Amino acid sequence: MSNRIKPLVFLIILACVLWLEMFVLKSFNFWLEMTIAASLLAGLGLYFNHRNGEAINYRLYFFESKYILIGIVSAALLYLVFYTGDIVSKLILPFADKQVVGVYNNKSLLDPVVIGLLLVFIIGPAEEVFWRGFVQDTLAEKFGDNKGWIIASLIYGAVHIVALNFMLFMAALICGLFWGWMFKRYRSVWPGLISHALWDLTIFVLLPVR
């Protein structure tokens, strides 16, 4: 059994608490809370990986130049999926538009340039470091690559349930499956990290669907 399982349980519980604060309690600015939460979880994930062997982080963060193109193309593909999904969801789900607008309301809480910088350089990368580089890698080690991918994706979607927003939950689940598959396929955090950062920037700042 992986020595990372107990820390995994603790950090998932912590993630649930942090997501509850961000999406329900909202004591502070959403973007600052998200930056702190993602950074904290990423840092702890890196720490527990390192504590269980330096080779873990070396394996996860070995970089190849091809990952840049893979990240760019995959971000564009995922954006098209969401652009199309937004059109379809408005036609078949009467509550979809209101819920998507609810997510985008957070854009007004901070300058768009600052939001973009936080998404590209901190929030997006930190989420991949934690959710794929720690959570999925730990689960894959225990249950195998495919089961680890599915379980990690379900957990990633589940922590968003606290927001009581079906569209947000589905978005998180789809993204979790997408970036989780990339992690499983390339066995590196980098492709998903680049993809996540660029997709965040595009969907929230450059070409928002709302």
The pLDDT confidence band at residue 210, using thresholds 50, 70 and 90, is: confident
For 10-48, what is each residue's pLDDT tens digit? 999 999 999 999 999 999 999 999 999 999 999 999 999
Distance CA 27, CA 158 (A): 22
Helices (H) and strands (E) in the chain, counts: 11, 0
Distance CA 154, CA 158 (A): 6
Could you give the 3-state DSSP secondary structure of residue 204?
A: helix
**What residue type is 41 in one-letter code?**
L
For 153-204, what is each residue's pLDDT tens digit? 999 999 999 999 999 999 999 999 999 999 999 999 999 999 999 999 999 9
Please, what is the Cα angle at 176 between 101 and 105, to 5 degrees? 15
Predicted TM-score (pTM) of the model is 0.96
Of 124, 107, 126, 114, the residue nearest 204 (C-alpha): 107
